[in-house]
Structure 1
Amino acid sequence: MADIGLVERRPEGRVESLLGGALELAAAALVAVETVLLLAGIVARYVFHSSLVWSDELASVLFLWLAMLGAVVAFRRAEHMRMTALIAMAPAGLRGFLEALAVAAPILFLLLLLHPAYDYAVEESFITTPAMEIPGSWRASALPVGVLLMLLVALVRLPRAAGWGRAAAALGVVALVAAGFWWAGPVFRPLGNLNLVIFFVGLVAATVLAGVPIAFCFGLATFGYLALTTRVPTMVVVGRMDEGMSHLILLAVPLFIFLGSLIEMTGMARAMIRFLANLLGHVRGGLSYVLIGAMYLVSGISGAKAADMAAVAPVLFPEMRERGAKPGELVALLSATGAQTETVPPSLVLITIGSVTGVSIGALFTGGLLPGALLAVVLCGVVWWRHRGQSLAGAAKPGGREILRSFGFALPALALPFLIRAAVVEGVATATEVSTIGIAYAFIVGLLFYRQLDWSRLRPMLVDTAALSGAILLIIGAATAMAWALTQSGFSRQLAAVMAALPGGQAGFLAVSILAFVVLGSVLEGIPAIVLFGPLLFPIARDMGVHEVHYAMVVILSMGIGLFAPPFGVGYYAACAISRIGPDEGMRAIWGYMLALLLGTAVIAAIPWISIGFL
């Protein structure tokens, strides 16, 4: 910490600090502007019966800037998603080198991408937007500007990550590997689809395991594959990234993340949890049931797992500890509920899968409720078994009046998940717009009813929202480019043929999908796995007669199990960080929950009605 303070007192450190502050302010302002803009569109349409024809277009322009500036902020704060399980087990010297490599590899990708991103923005200048009649370069310029800013941030961060010596070594290794691939370019072209294994299996696996942020792993593999084995212009990589990041439906990602922070800050989550605790806290394992129910309810509001866990754990865990719960059991159950609620609308994974596969968001929102509830019952079964001999000496049963009072206090908060779902299903607002309704509702309820609106926390919440959104959206952009390259190679046709030939028909296809997405969820994290393989596998599922909403539930739950299962699942480590409990403590306790979730997922796969019965 002293070294960082010394660096920040130097002129270059002060400049970097000022630049970082300006970037955070701009990214936070964009989140706020997008919220107000979409809410204004809803008010104009339903109150004044007039449409703001330019609002969606302006929202789209600002959204790409939000995504890129958020990605820069995330890079500056070292918050891009990466797999660190192997780094944590490495010796100290190697760990420092790998930390430097995690910055040096993105520098290579950003250098390679800078000129194509500039060319792409120039090309877009010849396109005029229909409503506002402005050049497309106003939006597309976010790409080269964001790439350049990330490059500058990376160059400043690199020596801080592990010192000048390791920074130079990491840059040297990256340069040597890049030169080796370039020199071997003529060798790659005759190899055909073997190049898919070299770039999209070998290179991606090596960089992911080395701890390089996942978005840059995808980007490097895609850029290298197209540049060295095809005649496709590298500007296509930028175009595919733009396409993946610019779906307006994905604007729901930052808005629901912000909503998740709001429900914690306004006290809405605490009110819901207090009611559930009064209702169930006096039975054996009662607070564990409350944790399961609270995660289900909060997930129905925020859509962001980190926000869900951060809202629930600090409220429940102190009381659970007082009643004798072991730390490992607490973090294990929190992780399991994170996986269980991945299908509860408005889950960001549901929104993402709808965006990249074309499946109806409203249908996904309806189809996700019952699978999440079924897995909640399965987890409750494990809780009952583990707590069947628990002493109830310290658990007082509240009276009926106290339960009713807590219910009345929680009612405004409990109404929000139903408001969100009704607005989407009934067509009042899109999945993107409904998040702004939730934000407005949370502000009003927090200000007038709960009176816990802390204005000083709004700016940090907006910055955190922009950073997390930028990290997610950059992965989606890079994975979209990678999926396009795989499709153009003919891999999707070969994959379809292999999957169609699996023994067991639909059952065999679903079983392989479950196993594949458990593995992919643990290695690539949730959203990258969905974005990369969703466009490839969903058409195969349709051809085999599997309903797309049913398949989405199976895929999402399988991915969630991998995401929250140790030793690789990053969701498990997020739960540990939020709980302030060491990862080792929950390792034994979590496997019973994960086995129960896997069995529950198999039941959901075997009975399509659970997912599509209410469509």
Structure 2
Amino acid sequence: MVARYVFHQPVIWSDELAAILFLWLAMLGSTIALRRGAHMRLTLFVNLAPPAMRAWLEAAGSLVIALFVALIIVPAAEYAAAERFITTPALEVANSWRTSAIVVCAVLMMAVVLLRMAEQARPSRLFAVAAVGAVAAGGLWLLQPLLLAMGNFNLLVFFCGLTAVCIAIGVPIAFGFGIATLSYLALMTSVPLTVVVSRMEEGMSHLILLSVPLFVFLGLLIEVTGMARAMVSFLASLLGHVRGGLSYVLLAAMYLVSGISGAKAADMAAVAPVLFPEMKKRGAHPGELVALLSASGAMSETIPPSLVLITIGSVTGVSIAALFTGGLLPALLLALLLAVVAYFRSRREDLSAVGRPGARAIGKAFVVAIPALILPVVIRTAVVEGVATATEVSTIGIVYTAIIGILVYRTFPLRTMYPLLVETAALTGAILLIIGAATAMGWALTQSGFSRQLAEVMTRMPGGALGFLAVSVVAFAILGSVLEGIPAIVLFGPLLFPIARQVGVNEVHYAMVAILSMSLGLFAPPLGVGFYVACAIGKVDPDLALGRVWVYLAALLVGVVLIVLFPWLSIGFL
């Protein structure tokens, strides 16, 4: 970045080296995530099952993972062998050095899943589950003529039915997508399975996604350096003495921290432990705290540099800078609506023991927080002014945070670096494997003609652009309740964004509507994964928050409707 911007001599080979290392990072990280059980999955139904049934479901999930990995090892080897004839322009090395990451890590994943099955499941149970799976596979093979006669309705069997079953029994989302795609292509088409590997590799290799591990690492870094705590302490000194003040602080902190970390779990983990103890002292109900935290997570989905914004830019071609600019005002509107709800919900808050900080205390907290408050400004300014791309700007944040942590806050323990890097790799691998599997599934859906049929149906919706947006709100809310935002966007973004353009909806406006609609589903019980993440971070039983979250979600829904009706809220500053 310095070579290009300062010396006007770009380092050409750096992108090629980054692309090679990035795919290895993604695959090795996904292997680590598999070993640690860190892949994104829906555990609602598994947790509701009795212990005996849960063991059977876990065994079935492990066998599905093993089957997917076994099916891609040979195609991955063939794909890597074919890529050896392609050399990179600058480094002049064979592309197989990069694509062999899929082969090597597929073998490692197989070893991991076999080891896990040996540790957790009895052989008799594995044989029984394998027999059931073999019967199901044989049934699909025998039903081939009938499924082919169904035309594109057979997509429901594979991409709805099979995927839903896999996700319901706790199979990680990426592997559920992958096995559904492999099954469809193997049984319904003559397409070689190397296509699945090539599509996965393409989905995981966008250089714009290099910002994912960097922003994940940045989010973890600001937590260990104390920058997040400094920001929250300053906001608390300003508003902590007013009724509902700490609720406002939580919303403001989520707004600021979301502009740094880009990952919702990291955002909530940075804010909740700082504020929840004091809020409980003031008599706040634990369920109310988690409800507000969950709603604030949904509110802040469009705040840059959100990973969902970056993903939309990578899969749809929408300008990342425009998405970063367009996401600020919608999130601010939702934050204000949540603040109104928090005001009425905190009328009985006990402030008798809370004193108002003096100007000296506020000034001291502000001085301490200045370096932390500058970070979001540095990140956004670097992108808007063209100093750095959305990928590169994360490195500015990391260097800045490290320097401030060492020189200002003096809390940069080197012993935490290795665990932070491993955590970054695992989360990155989990995210990118979903993107890769969803890219392959999206390609299969496109080749089947589904995208054309979907476009025809959506364009015929009554009400023109407004009717299309209304249907999109419902569709993305449903998607968000069963999928994370990233896989849903990767899967359906390339299909729906062209339709939005066709009916006259601005792409940035549509991105805001889609993201916020998905966030409603993501943080809405009983299926929303984000709701349970918030409960886990707040260490609160979900039952305590279940009845209290709906009023906050209703406020968010009002905000989404306003954003749909008034596009200026999304594109007014572009």
TM-score under structure 1 length normalisation: 0.92
**Is the partner of 1:141 in helix, strand or coil?**
helix
What does residue 438 of structure 2 align with? 479
**Which of 565, 569, 572 in structure 2 is aligned with 1:610?**
569
In the other structure, the counterpart of 2:270 is 311
Partner in structure 1 of residue 344 of structure 2: 385
1:228 aligns with 2:190: no
- State how far apart, in whole Å, the 2-side matches of 1:46 and 1:57 are: 19
Q: How far apart, in 1, do the equivalents of 2:298 and 2:487 lie? A: 16
User: Which residue matches 1:399?
Assistant: 358
Alignment of 1:365-380 (within 5 A): 365-380=324-339
Partner secondary structure for residue 351 of structure 2: coil
Percent identity between the aligned chains?
64
Alpha-carbon contact 1:342-1:556 (below 8 Å) kept: yes
Structure 2 Cα separation of the partners of residues 517 and 162 of structure 1: 37
- Rounded Cα–Cα distance in structure 2 between residues aligned with 1:493 and 1:352: 23
Counterpart CA distance in 2 for 1:366 and 1:46 is 22
Post-superposition offset of 1:47? 4.4
Alignment of 1:465-476 (within 5 A): 465-476=424-435
**Does residue 2 of structure 2 align to residue 43 of structure 1?**
yes
For the pair 1:62 / 2:21, whether they are aligned, the reply is: yes
Q: Deviations over 1:90-119 (max 9, x none)?
A: 122111111111111011111111111110
Q: Bigger shift: 571-580 or 348-357?
A: 571-580
Question: Which runs of structure 2 are paired with 1:173-188 in the superposition (5 Å)?
Answer: 173-188=132-147
Is the CA contact (8 Å cut-off) linking 2:167 and 2:176 kept in structure 1? yes
Q: Which amino acid aligns with 1:397?
A: R
Counterpart amino acid of residue 540 in structure 2: I
Asked if the contact 2:458–2:499 (Cα under 8 Å) also holds between the matched residues in 1, the reply is yes
Aligned to 2:531: 572
Say if 2:239 is the partner of 1:283.
no
Indicate the residue corresponding to 1:419 in structure 2.
378
**Count of residues in Structure 1 that have an aligned counterpart in Structure 2:** 574
| Residue 83 (structure 2) pairs with residue 129 (structure 1) | no
Aligned equivalents of 1:161, 1:248: Cα separation in 2:
38
The within-5 A match list for 1:44-443 is 44-443=3-402
Alignment-mate amino acid for residue 322 of structure 1: K
Alpha carbons 1:281, 1:287 under 8 Å: kept: yes
In structure 2, distance between residues paired with 1:453 and 1:168:
50
Deviation at 1:89, TM superposition (A): 1.1
Could you tell me which amino acid in structure 2 is paired with residue 412 of structure 1?
P
The amino acid of 2:410's aligned partner reads R
CA RMSD across the alignment: 1.1
* One-letter amino acid of the counterpart of residue 391, structure 1: D
Once the two structures are TM-superposed, the CA of residue 575 in structure 1 deviates from its matched residue by 1.1
Residues 283 and 350 in structure 2, CA contact (< 8 A), matched pair in contact too: no
Mark the runs of 5 or more structure 2 residues left unpaired by the alignment.
Answer: none
Matched letter for residue 358 of structure 2: G
Kept in 1: contact 2:282–2:349 (CA 8 A): no
**1:360 partner amino acid:** S
Match of 1:560 in 2: 519
Q: Deviations over 1:383-440 (max 9, x none)?
A: 0111124332122110112111111110110011111111111111111100001000
Bigger shift: residues 250-259 or 226-235: 226-235
Q: Which residue in 2 is equivalent to 1:544?
A: 503
Equivalent residue letter for 2:117: L
- What letter corresponds to residue 385 of structure 1 in structure 2? F
How many Å apart are 1:171 and its aligned residue?
2.5
1:176 CA drift (Å): 2.5
**Alignment partners' CA distance in 1, 2:5 and 2:495:** 39
Following superposition, the deviation at residue 174 of structure 1 comes to 2.3
Aligned amino acid, residue 489 of structure 1: S
Give, in angstroms, the shift of residue 229 of structure 1.
0.8
Higher mean C-alpha displacement, 181-190 vs 214-223: 181-190
Is the contact between residue 282 and residue 350 of structure 2 (CA under 8 Å) also seen in structure 1? no
User: 1:468, CA displacement in angstroms?
Assistant: 0.7
Per-residue deviation, 1:186: 4.0
Which string of whole-angstrom CA distances, capped at 9 and with x for unpartnered residues, describes residues 165-185 of structure 1? Answer: 333332332233223323333
Residue 447 of structure 1 pairs with residue 406 of structure 2: yes
Mapped to 2, the partners of 1:517 and 1:195 lie a distance apart of 22
- Whether the 8 Å contact between 2:316 and 2:494 is mirrored in structure 1 is yes
**Aligned residue type for 1:62:** L
Q: For 2:118, give the aligned amino acid.
A: P
Checking the alignment, whether the CA contact within 8 Å between 1:189 and 1:228 is kept in structure 2 is: no
Which residue is equivalent to 2:493?
534
Displacement of 1:164 after TM fit?
3.2
- Report Cα offsets for 1:211-245 as digits up to 9, x if no partner: 11111111111111111111111111111101100
CA distance in structure 1 between the partners assigned to 2:429 and 2:69 by the alignment: 16
After TM superposition, the runs of 4+ consecutive aligned structure 1 residues lying more than 4 A away are none
Asked if 2 retains the 8 angstrom alpha-carbon contact of 1:321 and 1:327, the reply is yes
SS in 1 for 2:283: coil
Query: Contact 1:382–1:593 (CA<8 Å) still a contact in 2?
Result: yes
| Structure 2 partner of 1:461 | 420
Q: For residue 67 of structure 2, what is the amino acid of its counterpart? A: L
Partner deviation per Cα, 1:252-272 (whole Å, 9 max, x = no partner): 111100000001110100000
CA contact (8 A) 1:70 1:466 kept: yes
Residue type at the aligned position of 1:198: V
Matched, 1:500 2:459: yes
CA distance in 1, matches of 2:122, 2:540: 30
Cα drift, residue 76 of structure 1: 0.4
How far apart are residue 48 of structure 1 and its match? 4.4
SS of the aligned residue for 1:431 comes to coil
Residue 571 of structure 1 and its aligned partner are, at CA, apart by 1.0
For normalisation by structure 2, the TM-score amounts to 0.98
How far did residue 326 of structure 1 move? 1.1
Q: What SS class does the counterpart of residue 450 from structure 1 fall into? A: coil
Q: What is the one-letter code of the residue matched to 1:456?
A: R
Q: SS of 2:299's equivalent?
A: helix
The C-alpha deviation readout for 1:100-148, integer Å capped at 9, x for no partner, is 1111101111111111111000011110000100000000001111111
* SS of match in other structure, 1:193: helix
Matched residue of 1:182: which SS?
Answer: helix
CA–CA separation in structure 2 for the residues paired with 1:524 and 1:390:
36
Mapped contact 1:159–1:167 kept (Cα < 8 A): no
Gaps of 5+ in 1: 1-41
Measure the CA separation in 1 of the matches of 2:417 and 2:375: 20
Greater shift in the superposed pair: 246-255 or 200-209:
200-209
Aligned partner letter, 2:298: A
Q: 1:70, 1:467 within 8 Å by CA — same for their partners in 2? A: yes
**Residues 510 and 605, structure 1, Cα contact 8 Å, conserved in 2:** yes
Q: Distance in 2 between matches of 1:254 and 1:466?
A: 7
Amino acid of the structure 1 residue aligned with 2:369: A
Contact 1:189 1:230 (C-alpha < 8 Å) held by counterparts: no
- Give the partner amino acid of 2:378: L
Secondary structure at the counterpart of residue 482 of structure 2: helix
